[in-house]
């Protein structure tokens, strides 16, 4: 799953201090806009041993969550859930574009009242579309954030166990790439995203989805601005009628 799925969920980079999280039982502080990595249980019987390693690695938390079998499954379910809204928004966008085309092609033949009626109709529909679009985006964001938080809660102990067993003291999250984030990965060899995902897939027991598809964002269709005629030609016909 590419980073396009949830780029708005992880605005800043999380620094995962593996040793400190395992030893203290609390997650290191992280930006308010980013989901914090939950701490592993402090009990030796129920959680991984504290990491005493000194290696520094990188992990794309976003890709780890939505690249796991569970994350892909839930993202695809969300995609299907959003399909009716996607279709509704597209139909509204197409209707607005059709009215704008009508305004541009028939402007010379419309009288002033007909033209103003059409312009007001377009502006009204545009406002409704923009409001619906914003609501859909917020709903999508909230539902993806819920998926992210829920899976990360279960994935955190796997990350910490992997770090402890492989000598890592710190893992830096690269979900927000430079320059949006402060981490500049210098080598792909530092990235542990794939082995963490593989380990989590084994633990979760969730099979790989039969067909993988990107999660659907609410349509980003952007309607073209309304072009209002600057002046009314003196010789224009007065036979036009307002649109139905």
Residue 234 in domain? no
Residue 34 in domain? yes
Residue 238 in domain? no
Residue 139 in domain? yes
pLDDT tens-digit series, residues 21-69: 333 333 333 333 445 455 444 433 445 556 567 899 999 999 999 999 9
Residue 23 in domain? yes
Residue 228 in domain? no
Query: In terms of DSSP bridges, do strands 55-59 and 15-17 run parallel, antiparallel, or are they unpaired?
Result: unpaired
pLDDT tens-digit series, residues 70-105: 999 999 999 999 999 999 999 999 999 999 999 999
Question: Domains in the chain: how many in total?
Answer: 1
Per-residue pLDDT at 114 exceeds 70: yes
pLDDT band at 227 (very low <50, low <70, confident <90, very high): low
Residue 46 in domain? yes
Range of the domain at 66: 3-204
Per-residue pLDDT at 1 exceeds 60: no
pLDDT tens-digit series, residues 178-214: 888 888 887 889 999 999 999 999 999 999 988 655 5
Per-residue pLDDT at 218 exceeds 60: no
Residue 133 in domain? yes
171 vs 39: CA distance, rounded Å: 14
Average pLDDT of the residues of the chain = 76
Q: Which two tokens stand for residue 168?
A: 């890592």
Phi, psi of 168, deg, nearest 5: -90, 135
């Amino acid at each position: 799953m590419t980073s396009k799925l949830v780029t708005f969920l992880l605005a800043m980079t999380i620094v995962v201090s593996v040793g400190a999280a395992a030893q203290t039982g609390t997650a290191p502080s992280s930006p308010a806009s980013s989901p914090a990595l939950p701490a592993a249980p402090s009990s030796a019987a129920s959680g991984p041993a504290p990491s005493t390693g000194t290696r520094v690695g990188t992990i794309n938390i976003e890709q780890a969550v939505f690249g796991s079998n569970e994350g892909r499954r839930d993202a695809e379910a969300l995609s299907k859930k959003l399909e009716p809204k996607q279709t509704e928004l597209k139909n509204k966008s197409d209707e607005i574009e059709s009215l704008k085309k009508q305004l541009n092609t028939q402007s010379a033949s419309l009288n002033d009242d007909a033209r103003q009626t059409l312009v007001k109709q377009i502006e009204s529909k545009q406002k409704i579309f923009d409001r619906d679009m914003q609501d859909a985006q917020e709903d999508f964001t909230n539902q993806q954030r819920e998926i992210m938080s829920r899976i990360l809660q279960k994935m955190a102990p796997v990350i910490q166990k992997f770090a402890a067993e492989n000598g890592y003291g710190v893992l830096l999250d690269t979900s927000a790439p430079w320059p949006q984030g402060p981490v500049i990965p210098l080598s792909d060899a530092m990235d542990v995203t794939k082995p963490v995902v593989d380990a989590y897939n084994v633990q979760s027991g969730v099979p790989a989805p039969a067909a993988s598809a990107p999660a659907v964002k609410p349509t980003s269709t952007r309607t073209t601005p309304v072009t209002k005629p600057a002046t009314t030609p003196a010789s224009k016909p007065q036979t036009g009628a307002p649109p139905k």
